Amino acid sequence: MSSKKQGKIAFFYESNNKERLDVFLASNFPEFSRSHYKTMILNGQVLIDGRKPKPNYMLSFGNEISIDKKSPKKIDVTPENIPLDIVYEDSDIIVINKKRGMVVHPAPGNYSGTLVNALLYYAKDLSGINGELRPGIVHRLDKDTTGLIIVAKNDFAHTSLADQIQQKSAQRIYTALVNGGFKEKSGEIDAPIGRHKRERKLMAVVYDGRNAKTHYKVLKEYIGYTLLELKLSTGRTHQIRVHLKHIAHPVVCDPVYGTKKSKIAFDKQLLHAKKLIIKHPRTGKEMEFNAPLPEDFEIILNKLKPKEQ
């Protein structure tokens, strides 16, 4: 069953066999190549059950597929001379300590000043797997989340790093200041994440969401606050922020998922990607990278009163 309107079609996936989305589209709608469908998916022209998927999304029976075949307006991503804090670089990868306020890749409302704009100026070669708007980008950090992000210079490195993240062999470890105290010094948050049922731009814990797990460990306790170390087992959009809100310990100063009123005069979430552990795509050698807390985060911690043990 399908419907067509102004170049758009919608239908249900009716096979019991799982199949990659981009492969399925190229096989069943051969007017476009697989690479073109990848670009369409990344541009938001293909939706699965009303949500933006990745090109490697595995289709299941009953999925609703919506395709907008209209060509999107061409967007030129301009290289910009923006300083980057480079932690490590070789012929395959770049590890960057991203500053607060920098968007990772161009999107509506942010077509300049992004990490991609800076990378296009700095690097001669970047992987092309994620399309023209996300060259080299293997994973994301939110605009106001600071810390480590890895960039692939070629498709070989990109594929290896993406596989490591998907198979959970790559480790991404964060530090966050959150509201309230914890009875347990460590634990796991296991709750599915999907689009908020009313606020579609937001994510939330929902019964029909995608599997999501976050491990936490208490690093230091303050009066009214706790400094946590967090490790991702999955990589859902806004996962840490959504999970911490779900357990009533939102990230301090989070303008979207945090408390409406805060005693701390700051307007950006205090969340930092402090450690990244990967196997080098070409050599297989394990590599660990670390980034210190940004100065504004440290200043806030120094103003807090430690909790007596």
Cβ atoms of 196 and 167 within 8 Å: the answer is no
- Residue 127's closest CA among 96, 159, 103, 149? 159
- Residue 54's closest CA among 64, 67, 44? 44
Q: 7-11 contacts: CB < 8 A, separation 24 or more? A: 7/68, 7/69, 7/70, 8/66, 8/67, 8/68, 8/69, 8/70, 9/66, 9/67, 9/69, 10/64, 10/65, 10/66, 10/67, 11/64, 11/65
- Where would I find the H helices in 89-154? 115-122
Measure the CA–CA gap between 290 and 293, rounded to whole angstroms.
Answer: 10
- Residue type present at position 246: H
Instruction: Based on the residue annotation, tell me whether 22 is a catalytic residue of this protein.
Output: no
Cβ atoms of 203 and 193 within 8 Å: the answer is yes
Cβ atoms of 270 and 297 within 8 Å: the answer is yes
Residue of 22, 142, 144, 254 with catalytic role:
142
- Where would I find the H helices in the chain? 21-28, 34-42, 115-122, 155-166, 239-246, 295-303
Structure token pair of residue 20: 């990659």
Positions annotated as catalytic residues are 142
